[in-house]
Chain A
Amino acid sequence: MTATNSEATLPAQGIEAPRSGRIDPKYLRSNPSKGAFEMWAWLFMRISGAALVILIFVHLWTNLMVGDGIHQIDFAFVAGKWANPVWQFWDLTMLWLAMLHGTNGMRTIINDYAEKDSTRLALKSILYLAAAVIIILGTLVIFTFEPCLVDESGALLEYAPSFCETVVN
């Protein structure tokens, strides 16, 4: 991405940026004050992207490529993983980075293709609401999850992971 075609000048040389002043401001995609935000968004996409490559590749490896792969995934498998704080932190980081990375990508696409201000506002409102709901929901699930569920009599439910037997007894 190039810098915005704003009224910006290069102060040191006193030279105007190319095309500065020749474009009606209403056709500019953003105003100069948004420049810093877009720069941080650009940088975030690169940093979070590199982190997500590692986070997601390991996620796919441990869940699909080792053990019984796709067949092993059930309640007990998730419970077994989240009994370890490392995997809780891993999944939490993955959730937040992936959602922020994906939401920013969708924001870019909306800005590119939705031409009317009202359409952009509507689409971005839905996007941000959905992102907030998913991030909060996912975070709560990771931290309020109870792996060793028991029935009224205090007996372990049959779906509980095996390590629960040593915890309850």
Chain B
Amino acid sequence: MTQTKSTPGGRGTLYKGREGMWSWVGHRITGVGIFFFLLVHVLDTSLVRVSPEAYNAVIGAYKHPIMILGEIGLVGAIVFHAFNGLRIILVDFWKQGTRYHRQMLWAVLILWLVTMVAFSVRHLMIFFEGWEGF
């Protein structure tokens, strides 16, 4: 899987510092971020069991302009983790997976960009349509 034999004047290793490592780093960081959001999200949703007022007050925070940007960041993390996760499944289970793992990372990044442009435009449009100001 990894090869640590260094080539003279070459890049050193096949893994460290290259696409495989960076996709792994990205997967970890987005995963941890999503996990902590998930804890908060279950707690805020649980407020429906406390009272409608409590739930509406807290969920209202998600409609603040700063949180709108936060939601784009969150969805960005989720979409990368999702697409890169599917790439990992293909690396593990598809016969040609290890051969094309780098090309698949580029596909992940292109699909991520397309998805995020579409999501951000739609999310911001909806936000500005219904926004009542500060």
Contact = CB atoms under 8 A, between A and B. Distances in A.
Closest 6 CB pairs of A and B: A159-B52, A69-B126, A75-B52, A71-B130, A102-B35, A49-B85
Contacts of B85: 49-50, 53
Nearest to B79: A57
Interface residues of B, number: 38
Interface residues of A, number: 41
Interface of A: 2, 46, 49-50, 52-53, 56-57, 60, 64-65, 68-71, 73-76, 78-79, 95, 98-99, 102-103, 105-106, 109, 130, 134, 137-138, 140-141, 144-145, 149, 157, 159-160
A26 B12 CA distance: 30
Interface in B62-78: 62-63, 68, 71, 75, 78
A46 B35 CA distance: 17
Interface stretch (B3-11, B15-23, B39-47, B98-106): B39-47
Q: Which of B68, B82, B119, B127 has the most C-beta atoms of chain A within 10 angstroms of its own C-beta?
A: B82
Nearest to B60: A74
A64 B123 contact: yes
